Amino acid sequence: MYTQHRRALHRKILLYIFYVAVSSLFTIVLNIVHSTYVLKLPLVPISFLIPVGAGVAFGLTLAHIKALSSRMQEMAYTDSLTQVYNRLHMTHFLEAEIERARRYQSTFSLILFDLDYFKNVNDEHGHQAGDKILQQVAKLVSNANRDADILARYGGEEFLILASDTNIDGAVKHAERLRRDIANHKFGIPMKITASFGVAEFDAEDDDINSLIRRTDIALYNAKARGRNCVAQA
């Protein structure tokens, strides 16, 4: 996800520059044509600077408006703290993935994980420390995921991964790797951070979004009942 964000940022910068350049050039040309053929002004260096300045100013304004619009759209589907997708947008991905799996007779799995005893982190080290841990977990998991995997903050200290084209065995292996990564990571506080994982594979005959998430959530509950810091499958 973080790699995708960096690529998206590069694309936005290039798009911003493109809007500035195109808008500026278009406005400059119009101003020159208007000054020369309508106002009948001689195109001396001083008169040339005015349309150039107006064109650049217009281009910057238009590009800024475009950037603000893009930022507003991003805020609508991105969790502001962790910079991964939010719960609402994950629902859109799930709808599309279910349709794709049924159409092409493929499969996918969900991985739902929850940080163990996270309330103790906030109580003992403060909410700022808790926020930093959530950010680190999001980055850690994003770096370990495949490009095709979609990560979302599902609520509080819960995260959901949509693992496309992955059966239950592959999803359990991936969840186990993530569990070890989190358990072995140094988060900068004198407290070991672990996570519990629930995994479920999509069943084309019986599942919709609600039933699939419910089965995944039950698996997570079972992982917690088994002592936490483990992986359970539906």
- Among candidate residues 74, 95, 99, 157, the one labeled active-site is 157
Q: What's this model's pTM, rounded to 2 decimal places?
A: 0.73
> Which of 76, 111, 138 lies at the terminal end of a domain, its last residue?
76
What H or E segment, with its residue span, contains residue 152? strand 150-155
Residues 120 and 149: their CA atoms lie apart, in Å, by 30
Which pLDDT score, from 0 to 100, does residue 75 have? 63
- Whether residues 187 and 120 share a domain: the answer is yes
- Whether residues 190 and 153 share a domain: the answer is yes
Give the β-pairing of 195-201 and 158-164. unpaired
Overall domain count for the chain: 2
Name 199's bridge partners. Answer: 111, 233
- Whether residues 68 and 97 share a domain: the answer is no
User: Could you tell me where the DSSP H helices lie in the chain?
Assistant: 2-33, 45-77, 87-104, 118-125, 127-144, 168-184, 209-225
Where the chain has pLDDT below 70, the residues are 1-10, 12-13, 15-16, 19-20, 23-24, 27-28, 31-32, 34-36, 38-56, 58-60, 62-75
Q: Clarify whether 176 is annotated catalytic.
A: no
Dump pLDDT digits (tens) for 161-192: 999 999 999 999 999 999 999 999 999 999 99
Residues 142 and 6: their CA atoms lie apart, in Å, by 12
Q: Is residue 188 part of a domain?
A: yes
CA distances from 154 to 38, 44, 62, 70, 111 (A): 60, 62, 35, 23, 11
Q: For residue 66, with 0-12 CB atoms within 10 Å meaning exposed, 13-18 middle and 19 or more buried, which class applies?
A: middle
Question: Which residue, chain included where needed, has tokens 């790699």?
Answer: 3
Q: Is residue 112 part of a domain?
A: yes
- Whether residues 92 and 26 share a domain: the answer is no
- Whether residues 124 and 218 share a domain: the answer is yes
- Whether residues 61 and 127 share a domain: the answer is no
Dump pLDDT digits (tens) for 116-131: 999 999 999 999 999 9
> Which of 48, 76, 104 lies at the terminal end of a domain, its last residue?
76
- Show the domain range for 29: 2-76
Residues 89 and 96: their CA atoms lie apart, in Å, by 11
Q: Is residue 135 part of a domain?
A: yes
Which pLDDT score, from 0 to 100, does residue 61 have? 72
- Whether residues 179 and 95 share a domain: the answer is yes
Question: Which residue, chain included where needed, has tokens 């809007």?
Answer: 19
> Which of 41, 76, 111 lies at the terminal end of a domain, its last residue?
76
Q: Is residue 81 part of a domain?
A: no
